Amino acid sequence: MFSCGQLTTVSYMKEQRHTTASGWPRRGDLAHDAATGRAGVVIALPEDTGAPVFHLRPDGGAGEDWTAKRGSLTPADTSEPGAAPEGAR
């Protein structure tokens, strides 16, 4: 039987494997967070912080940073208003 701490570690390890296997998102990628409906630039990965979440900052830097789980992130549609044009990074 697992304790709460072990479940967190197991969840984190699964999350980290998924991130490493796909290679996305990486720092600097523009991602859409379905949980919040916001798009932002990935500024920290789970392996950076030891938590099973990504840290995002609004594109352009104005506004509050937030965290998101891998399952809620998709590549941002750069044709959306306010999104950075392709190749801008």
Write out the chain's pLDDT in tens, 89 residues: 444 454 444 444 444 444 445 789 999 999 999 999 999 999 999 999 999 999 999 999 999 999 999 999 999 987 655 444 444 44
Q: Judge if pTM exceeds 0.85.
A: no
Q: What is the CATH number of the domain that holds 42?
A: 2.30.30
Is residue 83 within 8 A of residue 39, CB to CB? The reply is yes
> For the chain, how many structural domains are there in total?
1
Decide if 35 is inside a domain: yes
Radius of gyration over every alpha carbon of the chain, rounded to an integer in angstroms: 14
Contact 67, 56 (CB under 8 A): yes
Answer yes or no: is 81 within a domain. Answer: no
Separation of first and last alpha carbons in the chain: 46
